[in-house]
Structure 1
Amino acid sequence: MSISGFIPRATRACHPDAVVSEYLDRGWWQEDTLPGLFASWVERRPAETATTDPVNLADLTGAQPMSMTWQELDEFVRRVAAVFHARGICQDDIVAVQIPNSIALVATYLALWRLGAVATPMPASYRRHELSGIVDACSAVAVVTVGRLGDRSLATEASGLLSGHPSLRTVFAFGPDVPDEAVEIDTAAVPASDVEEAETYTAGLVHTVNDRVTICWTSGTEAAPKGVPRCHADWLAVGRGVQDGLETTEDSVLVNPFPLVNMAGFAAALLPWLLGGGHLVHHHPLDITVYLRQIQHHRATHTTMPPAILTMLLQNDVLRKKFDLSSLERVGAGGAPLPPSVVAAWQNDHGVEVINFFGSNEGVCLLGAPGDMPDPTIRAQHLPNYAAPDHSWVVRLSRSTSVRLIDPVTGALVDTVGGRGELRLKGPTVFGGYLEGTATSSPFDEDGYLCSGDVFELCGEHGEYLRFVDRIKEIIIRGGMNIAPAEIEGLLQDHPAVAEVAIVGIPDEVLGEKCCAVVVPAADATPTLDDLTAHLRARDIASFKLPERIELVDTLPRNAVGKLLRRHIRTDLLESL
């Protein structure tokens, strides 16, 4: 199977026809679409609660929190779609979405997909710098956002892009505090004729499982983010794989603290909700007291937690015992190794099974499910090796996902226990290739396997497990958000007090990693951390990307062609801390 690694910007399909036919014939993909799944729950459970806003939504955006049944959500989605359609949004249009976790966000996705449009989600923390690049890269025709978020006017920030981006026609915003230059999404005031026209339009659309529905964004070693197109079928393949671990049902209540903008939020919350038909409760940004209160109030059965939060709650008896968390059955975790003692304690002492996830926007397909790894101490630090001979797995993706470990130096297949290599993957959850113009090379090898950039060790008595070792890629992951060092370095390089700069990740107990700026000062200059952060803030960069430590050095190590040896910089820095 030949995969080019790039998806043309104007092409609706995510995968070649031959791949689609193969995956459907093998049963690896189904004929379902995301709007179709939603419609099935509206028909089957119209009066049951479908989704609930964050309890602190009024503090975040000024809007009053709501809870909706499946039927109420369906009506809301239809009216939001009517607002979009009346302003020209139609099939294949790409629409940027910047909304905090809420009913409004889910309704926006469903409304766009109903119209055949493509959503390109962006974290609420993104500012003009990131928004501008994404709008240009995907030729977005509109932005959907909220009037305000905290002390920021997101709608005003987005409206500031209208004059400088030829593709961008409209900014839509949920209220309150919507500026005049944006179109307010007031579903109570939508004319009946607009709803009827939108319904007529959607009834005439032809959808395929290979149609693009999202373009998510990921940062690697390059300064600019890369677009990751996804279709109905590969998203649902991801969701069904995760379902084998989470096992959500109509009775499940999911509290989701991860932003619904990329793999973490979609795979662990939105898709299990659409597949299981339960109740999705929104939360974000993380406020630990509000979050635990939501779990208690809604009697949540499922949630996701960063490893650091799992550990902190286990160690903090006072905080944990303030809330009744006894309804929890399964918790998803990933992004960092899990302490075996923590996973064992949650399971043995509190009856909560922790699921170990591994994945990326490009391809998620490995998870440590209790049915495959009943021992929590093994599940904490290992993932299943679907390539292990004579071994069967509960997770259905094991039968459709091909896994290899490749020595990154020699290119040889690693098949000896204790050996280490780059994880490479092929199967129905792997994307079809980056958005044209957003990547300099293909992410696939000559055999069509996705090169993950992550090094794993082959473990277990017969090589049945994989253990994460390190990342080949140089991205920094802070609280689940990817930071490309080259992007920050490029912005800091024009600071007058900076001669050279390298951004590296250093460990953080809560966030996993945080940014450190290693700076060679310009002559007669002594830059401070405040100097650097002020310089970056002036360029409207997202706050999570700001350096949180500075180290001044005389020189930065480089190789023979002048490339920064960032790994050496980080090693030297960690030794000095």
Structure 2
Amino acid sequence: MILASKSDIEAHTKAGWWGTETIDARFRANAAANPGRTAVADPPNRVDIDGREPRRLTYRELGAEADRIATAFLDAGLKKDDVVAVQLPNVVELVAVYLGAWRAGLIVTPAPVQWRAHELGDVLAFVGAKAVVTARNIRGHDHAAMFESLKPKLPGLSKLFVIGETAWPEADSARLDALPAADANDAATICWTSGTEARPKGVPRSHNHWMIAGLACADAAQLQPGDTVLNPFPLVNMAAIGGCFMPWLLTGGTLVQHHPFDLPVFLKQLVGEKITYTVAPPAVLSLLLKEEKLMASLDLSAVRSIGSGSAPLSPWMVKTWQEQYGLPIVNIFGSNEGTCLISGAGDVPDPEERAQFFPRFGVKGFDWPAKIAGSIETKLIDLQSGEEITEPGKPGELLIKGATVFAGYYRAGDGGGPAEAIDKDGFFHTGDVFEIAGDGNRYYRFVERAKDIIIRGGMNISPGEIDGLLAGMPKLREAAVVGYADGVMGERICAVAVPAEGESVTLEDVRAHLMKSDIAAYKLPERLELAEALPRNPLGKVLRRQLREMIGG
């Protein structure tokens, strides 16, 4: 399935941003070069995650397991461009399943392990998933039984593979080698990004899209061949696939898995595995700096840099890590769609500036050391007039186009997201507000999210989805949810509710109503505020900024 236009393929290939190598081909080249090197390692606490003992696989072993999985996919009748859904924690099998799917020419649609029947049934039907790979038990929940219960609602779903129960066949190498050559512009994944709409939007990305995303992160982190990368984020979207998996693939080193985020385990891996590069939430990096005795006990000599993002970084935090511990923090602002602003030490040496600013990649008159700087074009437009902004200090929506940017939402205009997200000039309208800033107007500074996504513990939550479920609660006249700041999770969810006449409502009532829909637990509100009415604009849309003011967040 090639979704990029012929003109984009020709332009990006001619410029050298896109090539002919697929993810599968790059992995097999790595395996041939270093078959005995450790390719991937489990979290040490895997028993607590899915009841299985931790594993470590060399490139030879990982390649063999991926080939067995690919053969199982073919035996199940899956064909090129069929969609296989994967819901697994960050374990070695997750990497093997991805590689096996791409070996067989399939498209992977990954799902967070927190998703339940409510989320899964909708998106699997929407993409027409033909198979699912999951585990029997993930932190106490029977995922295999959940998918079995969904099969009657998904007539296209023909096969359920369960890690630890499904016996993978012997690899049929001759059959795999005889498959038609994959194209690097074929869709490799359909990831999911929450917006203000109830349904997450499917974001197809090709092998070439992922290759250049990996190049951007590996370059900013100054990774070298054979480095060891610690991945603490769910391997389901840009943060982990583009930020950890692809840099690992491009450098042919070792990928150490971590899940869910557990600070003592994370630090144990950071030191014990001699990690070169990892990513961590801003709150965690700030917290560590305040634990001086703990920091003094950690041997971080192998660490070269740390990536962070998803929320504005503290200049104090970035400066302290660099000046006291010699570790530059890479400031990352990215999205599944291909927004790619990365502030690394090579482009922004001053740590306090790096915490606040991103290079204006793709703007004429500015040159940057970053390898991907010329692969994209960016600009800001006025939120009302749509005119381009060229002066500093004026907020505007960020627009981006180029080799990192997807070709459009899956089934855009057919329930899959707005077709106009990419305009007639090829620019993706990010919905994120920035302003021009810094010395010589060389930088962008993030202002706010134009869309009201709630980001709780690295997971994107659509407020529109929860609003829709609350609309059916008999005790409520109306309700809406909004995020409020939290030092640990980044944001938590507050429900602002207007009770129906004569009714009294508690937070427990709201949570119980939502749980009837079998939604993921991380979407449940943790705070309730009652109001006489919700603030709305003349068109009836809830004004979430005013909601945040109402709750003091």
Q: 1:551 aligns with which of 522, 526, 529?
A: 529
Q: Partners of 2:174 and 2:245 in 1: how far apart?
A: 24
The worse-fitting range, judged by mean Cα deviation, of 448-457 and 522-531 is: 522-531
Q: Does 1:259 align with 2:203?
A: no
Q: Does 1:233 align with 2:208?
A: yes
Asked if 1 retains the 8 angstrom alpha-carbon contact of 2:363 and 2:377, the reply is no
Gaps of 5+ in 2: none
Deviations 1:508-560 (A, max 9, x none): 11111111100000121111111111121221111111111100011112222
The residue aligned with 1:563 is 541
Secondary structure at the aligned position of 1:161 is classed as helix
Asked if 2 retains the 8 angstrom alpha-carbon contact of 1:115 and 1:202, the reply is no
Cα deviation for residue 389 of structure 1 reads: 4.5
Cα deviation for residue 440 of structure 1 reads: 3.8
Cα deviation for residue 404 of structure 1 reads: 0.3
Cα deviation for residue 322 of structure 1 reads: 4.3
Q: 1:512 aligns with which of 471, 490, 495?
A: 490
Asked if 1 retains the 8 angstrom alpha-carbon contact of 2:103 and 2:176, the reply is no
Secondary structure at the aligned position of 1:386 is classed as coil
Name the CA shift for 1:400/1:440 in 2 (closer, same or farther; >3 Å).
Answer: closer
Cα deviation for residue 412 of structure 1 reads: 1.3
Q: Counterpart of 1:104 in structure 2: which amino acid?
A: E
Deviations 1:187-236 (A, max 9, x none): 4xx2x4xx32x641452222111101100001111111110001011111
Asked if 1 retains the 8 angstrom alpha-carbon contact of 2:43 and 2:91, the reply is yes
Q: How big is the alpha-carbon RMSD for the aligned residues of Structure 1 and Structure 2? A: 1.3
The residue aligned with 2:43 is 54
Q: 1:220 aligns with which of 162, 170, 195?
A: 195
Deviations 1:352-397 (A, max 9, x none): 1110011111013210011111111110111001245432101122
Q: Partners of 2:207 and 2:214 in 1: how far apart?
A: 10
The residue aligned with 2:271 is 296
Q: Counterpart of 1:427 in structure 2: which amino acid?
A: G
Count matched residues: 550
The residue aligned with 2:330 is 355
The residue aligned with 2:506 is 528
Q: 2:340 aligns with which of 365, 374, 383?
A: 365
Q: Partners of 1:290 and 1:199 in 2: how far apart?
A: 42
Gaps of 5+ in 1: 1-11, 176-183
After superposition, residues 15-414 of structure 1 pair within 5 angstroms as 15-175=4-164, 184-187=165-168, 190=169, 192=170, 195-196=171-172, 199-414=174-389
Give TM-score, length-normalised by structure 1.
0.93
Q: Partners of 1:150 and 1:326 in 2: how far apart?
A: 33
Cα deviation for residue 480 of structure 1 reads: 1.5
After superposition, residues 441-460 of structure 1 pair within 5 angstroms as 441-460=419-438
After superposition, residues 459-478 of structure 1 pair within 5 angstroms as 459-478=437-456
Secondary structure at the aligned position of 1:32 is classed as coil
Secondary structure at the aligned position of 1:162 is classed as helix
Q: Partners of 2:296 and 2:467 in 1: how far apart?
A: 44
Deviations 1:96-121 (A, max 9, x none): 10000011000000000000000000
Q: 1:13 aligns with which of 2, 24, 49?
A: 2
Q: Counterpart of 1:510 in structure 2: which amino acid?
A: V
Asked if 2 retains the 8 angstrom alpha-carbon contact of 1:403 and 1:425, the reply is yes
Cα deviation for residue 269 of structure 1 reads: 0.7
Q: Partners of 1:514 and 1:392 in 2: how far apart?
A: 39
Q: 1:487 aligns with which of 465, 469, 483?
A: 465
Secondary structure at the aligned position of 1:163 is classed as helix
Secondary structure at the aligned position of 1:404 is classed as strand
The residue aligned with 2:397 is 422
Q: Partners of 2:296 and 2:264 in 1: how far apart?
A: 12
The worse-fitting range, judged by mean Cα deviation, of 555-564 and 255-264 is: 555-564
Give TM-score, length-normalised by structure 2.
0.97
Q: Partners of 2:28 and 2:535 in 1: how far apart?
A: 57
**Looking at both structures, which has the greater relative contact order when contacts are Cα pairs under 8 Å and sequence separation is at least 6?**
1
Asked if 1 retains the 8 angstrom alpha-carbon contact of 2:409 and 2:419, the reply is no
Q: Counterpart of 2:37 in structure 1: which amino acid?
A: E
Secondary structure at the aligned position of 1:500 is classed as strand
Name the CA shift for 1:185/1:319 in 2 (closer, same or farther; >3 Å).
Answer: farther
Asked if 1 retains the 8 angstrom alpha-carbon contact of 2:357 and 2:438, the reply is no
Q: Partners of 2:494 and 2:204 in 1: how far apart?
A: 31
Q: Does 1:499 align with 2:477?
A: yes
